[in-house]
Chains A and B, each alone.
Chain A
Amino acid sequence: MLEALNVSKDFGANRALDKVTLRVKPGEIYCLLGANGAGKTTLINLFLDFIEPTSGEVRINGRKVADDPLSTKRDIAYIPEQVMLYGVLSGIENLKYFAALATGERHSREQLLALLTEAGLPEAAADGRVSTYSKGMRQKVGIAIALAKNAKALLLDEPTSGLDPKAASEFSQLLAKARDRGVAVLTTTHDLFHAKQTGTRIGIMKQGRLVADLSSQDLSHTDLETLYLQHMAA
């Protein structure tokens, strides 16, 4: 479970997060919507211990992140908007490296290829240098890293941004599979359609505050769009 409890974050005089409280339970996909600068990525960064909260606390599976960040990170996987990998290594070498660091285990070539295939990367591309990969291909290696980690929670920062519709759809299917395995997923997005389609819950952020926390089952696409625009205009 991912929990942000009354979390605020200030950057100098600028309050990036203002008393945000949210919980993402196992088997939930929580989509955070909001304009640029609303505080979505700041919230993700708090879960990753990249920054520390000014007040409040962030917990992963009941453990306070600030108390033991290395241990809590073992339970999560993170896929950013642009998965950055080592260009001089191949896709499978990148996966091997990151997976070994994440899990402490050595994976066989077969295991690694299976992970890449599951993530949607063609086997033929696995041995190509990442410097020749498209953004979508890098994203798939990032997904494979997350799969290798077999994490209990996923943190996704605009993961489908820039992906073609097919790749985005495949990604949504992967998320659904993860949800079905009981993984808690927190994802930020600008894509209302993607949020409605994949999310079990949807939060809307504005100026550092969580202004809406909704169940996607109770909303139509139109409702979501209307609500979102109302909050942005308010």
Chain B
Amino acid sequence: MIRLIAQREFTEFVRDGRLLWAGGIMLLLIVTALGVGWQRQSHLHAERHAAQHLDYEDWLKQDERHPHDAAHQGMHVFKPEPPLSIIDPGIGPYVGSTIWLQAHRQSEVKFRPAQDATGLQRFGTFSAAWLVQILAPLLIIVFGFNAFAGERELGTLRQLMSLGVSSRALLWGKALALAMGIGVLLVPGVVVAAAAVVIESEPGRLLDSALRFLMLGLAYAVYLAITVFVVLAVSARASSSRVALISLLALWIVGVLLAPRVMSDLSRHVYPSPSRTEFASDLSTDLKSEHDKAWREQFGVSTGWGPDLPLSKWGVALQVNDHVGYGVLDRHFGALWDTFEKQQRMQEWAGLLIPVLAVRSLSMGLSGTDFVQHRDFSVAAERQRRVVQDIMSHDLIDHADPLGDRHFAYQADKELWAKVPPFDYQTPSLAVVLRHHWSGFAILSAVLAAAVALALLFVPRRLPL
């Protein structure tokens, strides 16, 4: 019975042109978004591969020079582009994929615009994920707003009920029809995306990518199912299909476009994060204070890098300076990043009321393009920077400090540059991602259960006719 109802509904989608026009446009957009994403990903992948290799080669080929000069030149590290970024580029377009590892400074990352992005703000980030998060619910509304209200107006609901069709069978049949409608449109996109993910995955990480892909599909299926049941509930409750359509469009505007923006502002209000200037100023103040303290305690001087410190101690001083700074940097960046994660966490839990927030967070997480995974890369990059720093400082202590006043006459050669290992970064495994994002699945499952309960409530055994 459910299958019959679903088939009839689906036939109507086809014959009245809704599937052809609304769906055709959606299908075209998704395939285009995936194509654009794939091209972008391939381009970045090729660029990263070439640039990372060339940059390290440049490091190794440096002429003889003072090691601290080399540390100031530094090197660049490039974030691997996850295969699923084809579907959801996440914060990638906002933070970039390169970090400059230079002496004394941990590179700042700019990620807030994307992390706080709402549907409207992210209008520019044309991606398959964006289309499914924002436009697919609209499509379900177009398909389903008259599911019950329209049949009530037409009189066919009365006809159906007289035959002994249960209202619940009608609900499940209509839900299946909406799922079929949206499924037909998404299947070509899923096939293209799957092919792209397989092609772009490193052979050793194919299973990881495949599992991420399946879970991403599951997350979006739950998200769209929530929309389906909300649409059916409203259609069953509404006095007319016009009222149903207006109510659903209002829900879409508020729930998908406006509320995420409000939640973003609210999360910043609850967990305030410093401006870039404030952050830099606080960091500098703390660094100066810790450095001054260390210089006083270690070398008995009040100012760093002054004439009071003999050049025979500049290598040691550099090492002390760096090591004192590491703690300060960890504290400041850690606090900042924790704040951003709290803001994100708050927005994710707001997904209980605004499911698009939960699925957005989960989508970026599974695609490997969220802040947690960017932070992991940033931490790995900073670790590499410290490795470079320490190797250079050690070499200065061993070879430049003994030269006394001729400290700066020392020049290291290629043997030293080769001591710095290439940057070898592995993106976090799926297990790590799931530890951070289990709540996303829990939230979406809870909202789906609530949406089904709402639909069952609004589709009682004896439907209003």
Complex alpha-carbon distance, A145 and B158, angstroms: 14
Pick from B1, B15, B166, B462: contact of A88, CB under 8 Å: B15
Chain A residue with minimal CB distance to B155?
Answer: A84
B462, A84: Cβ atoms closer than 8 Å: no
Chain B residue with minimal CB distance to A97?
Answer: B8
Complex alpha-carbon distance, A69 and B460, angstroms: 13
A101, B165: Cβ atoms closer than 8 Å: yes
A70 CB–B CB distance under 8 Å: yes
Q: A77: which B residues are within 8 A, CB to CB?
A: 162
Pick from A48, A73, A89: contact of B8, CB under 8 Å: A89
B156, A49: Cβ atoms closer than 8 Å: no
Complex alpha-carbon distance, A98 and B1, angstroms: 10
Known: A84-B159, A86-B12; 7 extra A-B contacts, CB below 8 A, are A49-B462, A70-B166, A84-B155, A101-B4, A101-B5, A101-B163, A101-B165
A84, B154: Cβ atoms closer than 8 Å: yes
A50, B158: Cβ atoms closer than 8 Å: yes
Chain B interface main SS type: helix
A selection of 16 A-B contacts at a CB cut-off of 8 Å is A50-B465, A70-B166, A73-B162, A73-B163, A73-B164, A80-B159, A82-B155, A84-B156, A88-B16, A89-B8, A89-B11, A93-B11, A97-B8, A101-B163, A149-B163, A155-B162
Interface residues on B, range: 20 to 34
A98, B159: Cβ atoms closer than 8 Å: yes
B160 CB–A CB distance under 8 Å: yes
A83 CB–B CB distance under 8 Å: yes
Q: B1: which A residues are within 8 A, CB to CB?
A: 101, 104
Q: B155: which A residues are within 8 A, CB to CB?
A: 80, 82, 84
A20 CB–B CB distance under 8 Å: no
Pick from B12, B15, B462: contact of A52, CB under 8 Å: B462
Complex alpha-carbon distance, A89 and B15, angstroms: 9
Q: A85: which B residues are within 8 A, CB to CB?
A: 156, 159
A78 CB–B CB distance under 8 Å: yes
CB distance from B2 to the nearest CB of A (A): 11
Pick from B12, B158, B160: contact of A101, CB under 8 Å: B160
A100 CB–B CB distance under 8 Å: yes
Q: B465: which A residues are within 8 A, CB to CB?
A: 50
A70, B164: Cβ atoms closer than 8 Å: yes
Q: B403: which A residues are within 8 A, CB to CB?
A: none
A84, B162: Cβ atoms closer than 8 Å: no
Closest 8 CB pairs of A and B: A84-B155, A73-B164, A78-B162, A88-B15, A102-B163, A70-B164, A84-B156, A101-B163
Interface 1/0 per residue, A135-152 and B, CB below 8 Å: 000000010010001000
A80, B462: Cβ atoms closer than 8 Å: no
